[in-house]
Structure 1
Amino acid sequence: MTAVSERPVVSARRLSEVVGAYVALTKPKLVELLLVTTLPAMMMAADGWPSWRLVGATMVGGMFAAGAANTFNCWYDRDIDRLMSRTRDRPIPSGAVSARAALVFGLVLAAASLTLLWVATTPLATALAAVAILAYSVVYTMVLKRRSRHNTVFGAFPGAAPVLIGWAAVTGSLSWPALAFFAVVFCWQMPHFWALASRYREDYARAGVPMLSVVAGPASVGRQSVAWAWATLGATLLMGSITPVLGWAFAIGGGLLGAWYVAESHQWLGRIQSALPDRPMRLFSVSITHMTLLSIAIAIDVLV
């Protein structure tokens, strides 16, 4: 009787583990960060709150698109993921999901994403999502990641694509404010990911991935991060000046957040040059808070 009564519990636990493994393939934390920029872009485009139906379709479609791209990344990088302490427990290296099942899952997510966006949003938003999936899965993951020190810069294009997808879902077109917001998110990604890559530089070196932190000295990484942080601030101020629906609240808030990002990047460089513990994850954490608060500032400014 005990074995029989425990069987449903064991089955439920196994189902939960399988579902969790497939969700992990999509890198949900990264997906969440990407979607943080989608909604404020939609709100700016609509000069207010878009319809709930459009918001839901765009957010779910974007989630599926990002999840598909990340799943393809996990599928292709399964060999080097086994070599890195940060990634060896991912579903494919750990054996929780087979490579073939992961590939099929990615294809299903991509098809679901593009179908939903096509039916519920606009052709341009659908096309941009398709380009983003291909750019991250093929151009970044399969072509550049293992061959070029500039892989992060090219990978930043699909990383900033949710801004354009959200805008296009509302208007069916693009405009200068959308491109300015795209520039903010694009520039922001370099210090963000280089800080993370610096924390795990030994992992990337072991896997033979030429991240900037592997092929360049720490001071060079720090200086380039400072330059891109300044570019983020500049793009933020430009965005505030050319976007009619944004006012002084965003100009002040965005300026302060950008200045904080710049200051933290300078502090990171200072620690590197002083031969102190560089603590790159501090900049990484600040970058996430910066983008989250910036998106909230946009939403508040549009609504108020």
Structure 2
Amino acid sequence: MKWADFSKLIKTRLTSLVVFSASISFLIGSRANGHIVWIDWVKLIIGGFLVTSAANAFNEIIEKDLDKLMKRTMDRPIPSGKMTTGQALVLGLGMGMAGTYLLGSLNLLTGLLSVFSILLYAFAYTPLKRKSPIAVFVGAIPGALPPLIGYVAAQVHGRIDEIAIILFSIQFIWQFVHFWAIAWVLDDDYKLAGFRLLPSGKRDLTSAVITFIFAIVLVPVSLLPTIYGYGGYWVGGVSLICSLIFLYQSFMLLHTRQIPEARKLMFGSFFYLPVVQIMFLVDFIVK
């Protein structure tokens, strides 16, 4: 098996973004404790990478026949015949168990949240994608769990406090605009597999309006660190600027309802989250 095939199975770029989000939140949680246990940070990164990779592997096993229908996924290892379902299953189970063990060694709640994330993503969100746009709401939960898991992992006894909820909330609301921007760009390909991910099921005014509404909601949510006193004016200012740019991109999609504007919104979403999270960490450290 080639690394390129394994990389496609675990969706390396997506997995790396997930782990990055969790690792930043771990550092925020560690700062709240007053110290950083670097070996635990390494365990989180490795464990998080394995757990996320496992969830992606299970996703591709379940969707192997559907992946054959879409241009962007037909070259994945299972539909292309470069890897058998059995091989992918063994890899997925191995990574899932190893990752859960590492995360569970940090504290029990971290391990339980990681298992919940795998189950919800692979066995609830994945099958729902062909049934209803509600799949995006379900998928936004495991999609927003990484920062929560990262923060909880930094707590010796594993606890969820206001900061953890704020980190989860920002990523949760961001997920919708992010998902729908991607779904707008890839709607033609998604339809080949019967996926219904846009709010109305198609590229229309309703989908654009709902996307814009969630971008509006993200503005005050992104300011929660400053509102609750966990961040200063720097994180508040950067978050506000990023949110307004994101809102403008959403408005342009609403105004034009064209794929190029959806693509700009999609790329904007890739930059938005890491910038806001890193700024929260920096501001939290120097505050």
TM-score range, shorter chain: over 0.9
Aligned to 1:43: 27
Counterpart code for 2:234: A
Say whether 1:282 aligns with 2:264.
Answer: yes
Unmatched 5+ stretches in structure 2: none
Q: What's the C-alpha RMSD, in Å, of the aligned pairs?
A: 1.6
Of 192, 195, 205 in structure 2, the residue corresponding to residue 206 of structure 1 is 192
Displacement of 1:138 after TM fit? 0.7
Displacement of 1:49 after TM fit? 6.0
Say whether 1:167 aligns with 2:167.
Answer: no
Aligned to 2:108: 123
For each residue in 1:36-94, what CA deviation from the matched residue of structure 2 results, as whole angstroms up to 9, or x when unmatched?
Answer: 32122122222266221011101111111111101100110011100001111111111
**DSSP 3-state at the match of 2:75:** coil
Of 279, 284, 287 in structure 2, the residue corresponding to residue 302 of structure 1 is 284
Percent of aligned pairs with the same amino acid:
29
Counterpart code for 2:170: V
**Rg larger in 1 or in 2?**
1
**Cα separation, 2, equivalents of 1:295 and 1:128:** 21
Aligned to 1:13: none
**DSSP 3-state at the match of 1:93:** coil
1:94-105 to 2 correspondence within 5 Å? 94-105=80-91
**Cα separation, 2, equivalents of 1:217 and 1:281:** 13
Contact 1:74 1:92 in 2 (8 A): yes
* Higher helix proportion (structure 1 or 2): 1
**DSSP 3-state at the match of 1:182:** helix
Contact 1:177 1:243 in 2 (8 A): no
Of 196, 201, 220 in structure 2, the residue corresponding to residue 234 of structure 1 is 220
Of 218, 224, 232 in structure 1, the residue corresponding to residue 204 of structure 2 is 218
**Cα separation, 2, equivalents of 1:293 and 1:49:** 23
**Cα separation, 2, equivalents of 1:235 and 1:79:** 39
* 1:235 to 1:292, Cα distance in 2 relative to 1, 3 A: same
Contact 1:198 1:213 in 2 (8 A): no
Say whether 1:190 aligns with 2:176.
Answer: yes
Contact 1:201 1:213 in 2 (8 A): no
Of 132, 147, 150 in structure 1, the residue corresponding to residue 117 of structure 2 is 132
Contact 2:184 2:203 in 1 (8 A): no
**Cα separation, 2, equivalents of 1:90 and 1:18:** 12
Contact 1:183 1:232 in 2 (8 A): no
**Cα separation, 2, equivalents of 1:147 and 1:282:** 28
Of 216, 236, 241 in structure 2, the residue corresponding to residue 256 of structure 1 is 241
Say whether 1:31 aligns with 2:24.
Answer: no
Displacement of 1:214 after TM fit? 7.1
**Cα separation, 1, equivalents of 2:199 and 2:184:** 5
**Cα separation, 1, equivalents of 2:216 and 2:196:** 25
Displacement of 1:295 after TM fit? 1.7
Say whether 1:112 aligns with 2:95.
Answer: no
Aligned residues: 282
Contact 1:160 1:182 in 2 (8 A): yes
Contact 2:10 2:57 in 1 (8 A): yes
**Cα separation, 2, equivalents of 1:193 and 1:208:** 16
For each residue in 1:128-158, what CA deviation from the matched residue of structure 2 results, as whole angstroms up to 9, or x when unmatched?
Answer: 001001110111113x122111111110100
Displacement of 1:213 after TM fit? 6.3
Displacement of 1:279 after TM fit? 3.2
**TM-score normalised over the length of structure 2:** 0.93
